[in-house]
C-alpha cells in the first residue's frame, strides 16, 4: 500500500522518483500502532528536507499522512516515508522545491535476524549524515560482499577508520563490556541514537580501525528493521554472538516503549 500526500499513488506520480532518484527517506517498524523513536524519525525528515531541498518540511502534516496510511493496520509492519518532488526535472534539480510525502507499508520480518557476516570495503557514503535514496553504491558493495560469500558490506574510511554497514550502524563490545561506537562519518541511525540514550551498558564513541578488530569481544548491527543484530565476522575476524552485552542491548531496545501514532 502506498499513498502520496494522503492519496493513492499513481505511476505518473512515481515517474520522477524512478527516473531521477533524488530525495530522502526514513524507515520505521510499526508494532500495533506504535513506533519506537517516532520523534527521531520526524526530526530526520525535517532536517534532511532542508539539506536536500532547501525547504522546511511540515512536520505535523507529515505525521498526519503517516497516520492516515497506517490507519487500521494491526500487528507488525514496515513503514517507509520518502520525500521527493514529483515535478523535479533531472536537468534542473535546483528547481525541486515542492517535496511530496510518499508513505508505503510492507511486511516486517522477525527481530532480530540471525547473526551476519560482513566484508570491509574502503568507501565513504556521499552525505553520510543524510538518509538519501541514492543507494546504488551501498547496494553494489553489498552485492560484491555477497558474491564473495558474506552477507553484507562494512565501510572503512581512507584513513582506516571503520564507519558503518551497508544500511545499518555498526557497534562493538570491548572485553570489559564497554560498547564502542565508531567515530567516523555515519548516518545517525534512530536505533543507534535510542541505544545511546540508555544507561546500559557503558558506551563510548571513538575511532575503530581494522587492526583493532581482533581485540573486540563482539560486534553488532543496528537499524529499525533489525533492532540489535549480532555480527559474527568481519573479513576473517570472528566475534562472539552470545555475548551478554548483546543480549542486554537487545532487551533494552525491545523494552523501549513505542510512540503511539
Q: Is 64 helix (H, G, I), strand (E, B) or coil?
A: helix
Average pLDDT (83-100) is 91
Pairing of strands 169-173, 179-182: antiparallel
pLDDT at residue 96 in the model: 84
Q: How confident is the model at residue 13 (pLDDT cuts 50, 70, 90)?
A: confident
Q: Is the pLDDT of residue 15 over 90?
A: no
pLDDT at residue 199 in the model: 79
Q: Is the pLDDT of residue 53 over 90?
A: yes
pLDDT at residue 135 in the model: 94
Average pLDDT (75-79) is 95
Give the model confidence (pLDDT) of 239-253 as tens digits.
Answer: 999 999 999 999 999
38, 103, 5, 7: which is closest to 259 by C-alpha?
Answer: 38
Count of alpha carbons within 13 Å of 228, Cβ hemisphere only?
27
CA distance 174 to 216: 5
224, 219, 218, 220: which is closest to 256 by C-alpha?
Answer: 224
Phi then psi for residue 117, to 5 deg, are -115, 150
Mean pLDDT of the chain: 95
Show the cell assigned to 43: 526530526
Q: What structural domains does the chain harbor?
A: 2-107 (3.30.470.10), 116-256 (3.20.10.10)
What percentage of the chain reaches a pLDDT higher than 90?
A: 87
100, 87, 35: which is closest to 61 by C-alpha?
Answer: 100
Q: Is the pLDDT of residue 122 over 90?
A: yes
Contacts 24+ apart (CB under 8 A), 157-160: 157/122, 157/124, 157/184, 157/185, 158/122, 158/124, 160/209, 160/210
Q: Is the pLDDT of residue 26 over 90?
A: yes
Q: Is the pLDDT of residue 114 over 90?
A: yes
Q: Is the pLDDT of residue 101 over 90?
A: yes
Give the model confidence (pLDDT) of 185-238 as tens digits.
Answer: 999 999 999 999 997 779 999 999 999 999 999 999 999 999 999 999 999 999
Tell me if 116 sits within 8 A of 13, measured CB to CB: no
pLDDT at residue 84 in the model: 96
CA distance 48 to 25: 8
pLDDT at residue 111 in the model: 85
Average pLDDT (142-165) is 98
Amino acid at each position: 500500500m502506498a499513498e502520496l500526500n494522503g492519496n493513492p499513488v499513481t505511476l505518473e506520480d512515481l515517474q520522477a522518483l524512478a527516473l531521477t532518484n533524488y530525495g530522502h527517506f526514513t524507515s520505521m517498524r510499526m508494532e500495533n500502532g506504535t513506533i519506537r523513536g517516532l520523534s527521531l524519525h520526524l526530526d530526520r525528515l525535517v532536517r534532511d528536507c532542508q539539506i536536500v531541498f532547501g525547504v522546511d518540511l511540515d512536520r505535523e502534516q507529515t505525521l498526519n499522512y503517516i497516520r492516515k496510511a497506517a490507519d487500521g493496520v494491526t500487528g507488525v509492519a514496515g513503514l517507509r516515508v520518502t520525500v521527493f518532488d514529483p515535478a523535479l526535472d533531472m536537468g534542473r534539480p535546483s528547481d525541486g522545491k515542492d517535496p511530496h510525502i510518499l508513505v508505503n507499508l510492507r511486511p516486517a520480518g522477525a527481530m532480530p535476524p540471525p547473526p551476519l557476516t560482513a566484508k570491509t570495503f574502503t568507501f565513504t557514503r556521499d552525505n553520510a549524515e543524510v538518509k538519501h535514496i541514492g543507494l546504488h553504491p551501498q547496494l553494489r558493495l553489498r552485492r560484491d560482499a555477497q558474491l564473495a560469500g558474506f552477507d553484507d558490506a562494512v565501510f572503512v574510511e581512507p584513513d582506516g577508520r571503520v564507519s558503518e554497514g551497508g544500511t545499518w550502524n555498526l557497534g562493538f563490545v570491548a572485553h570489559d563490556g564497554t560498547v564502542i561506537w565508531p567515530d567516523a562519518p555515519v548516518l545517525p541511525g534512530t536505533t543507534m541514537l535510542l541505544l545511546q540514550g540508555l544507561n546500559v551498558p557503558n558506551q563510548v564513541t571513538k575511532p575503530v580501525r581494522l587492526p583493532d578488530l581482533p581485540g573486540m569481544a563482539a560486534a553488532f548491527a543496528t537499524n529499525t528493521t533489525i533492532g540489535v543484530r549480532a555480527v559474527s565476522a568481519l573479513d576473517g575476524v570472528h566475534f562472539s554472538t552470545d555475548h551478554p552485552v548483546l543480549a542486554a542491548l537487545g532487551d533494552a531496545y525491545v523494552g523501549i516503549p513505542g510512540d503511539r501514532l
